[in-house]
Amino acid sequence: MAPKVRFGGFLFPCTVLMLEIDDLWVNIGDKEVLKGINLRIPVGETHILFGKNGSGKSSLLMAIMGFGRYAVKQGRISFLGQDITRMPICARARLGLGLSCQRPPTIRGVKTADVLRVCSRGAIVPAVLAAAYDFTQFLDREVNYGFSGGEIKRSELMQLGLPQRQDRGPACGPGGRNGAGHPGIGIGTVTRSCSQ
């Protein structure tokens, strides 16, 4: 029996690829921005993309998410064995994909606890979720106001821990107005996002 890896609350055989990209060619308008990209990330691994400005890191992430401006001309993108190349953004987000801002906005006048309460549709007690992320001291503070970079990332991870309904994710999530319900993939800043 093959060893298994836990991912998003599920066990997967170690042979399952979380993300697989085959011969991906992407255009923005008439300009080729990705040329023949191949990438394989097994479940349980974390990969980081490094490169100089303009080398295609953000374009690859936007293509993985399915943003319309990034037209896939050739190739295939698979997530957990499912071809997502032509899926809309929301369908990808419901599978657990998404983007997180490098520097998410500060939201003055809105407390972190209120965001958690609203986004979970009342399904969680903010203090209980925050305790799991050692974040209770930030619940009464305005969203991202005065947070360090690490505190902002912890806040985003905490929001990713929000419970979801079977038919759709929580009402809010980092990087967008809505989110999906299990951890995003560990590539650069990919987490999750979805607009309903």
Burial 62-89 (b: 16+ CB within 10 A, else e): bbbbbeeebebeebebbbbeeebbebeb
d(CA 75, CA 55): 19
Domain limits at 67? 4-94
**Per-residue pLDDT, 88:** 94
Average pLDDT of every residue of the chain: 78
Q: What's 15's domain CATH number?
A: 3.40.50.300
**Per-residue pLDDT, 5:** 62
**Other Cβ atoms closer than 10 A to 173:** 27
Asked if pLDDT for residue 139 goes beyond 60, the answer is yes
Domain boundary among 73, 94, 115: 94
Asked if pLDDT for residue 15 goes beyond 50, the answer is yes
Residues 21 and 78 in one domain: yes
**Comparing 34 with 170, which gets the higher pLDDT?**
34
Residues 76 and 132 in one domain: no
Q: Is residue 142 situated within a structural domain?
A: yes
Query: What are φ and ψ of residue 117, in 5° steps?
Result: -65, -50
The token pair at 82 is 């499912």
**Per-residue pLDDT, 4:** 65
In the predicted model, what is the mean pLDDT of residues 162-184?
40
Q: Which helix (H) or strand (E) holds 21?
A: strand 17-28
Number of domains in the chain: 2
Asked if pLDDT for residue 13 goes beyond 70, the answer is no
Asked if pLDDT for residue 158 goes beyond 50, the answer is yes
**Per-residue pLDDT, 182:** 32
Q: Is residue 78 situated within a structural domain?
A: yes
Q: Is residue 191 situated within a structural domain?
A: no
**Per-residue pLDDT, 20:** 96
Residues of the chain above pLDDT 90, percent: 37
Q: How far is CA 118 from the centre of its chain?
A: 20
Residues of the chain above pLDDT 70, percent: 73
d(CA 40, CA 78): 10
The predicted model scores a pTM of 0.60
In the predicted model, what is the mean pLDDT of residues 93-105?
78
Furthest-apart CA atoms within the chain: distance in Å:
54
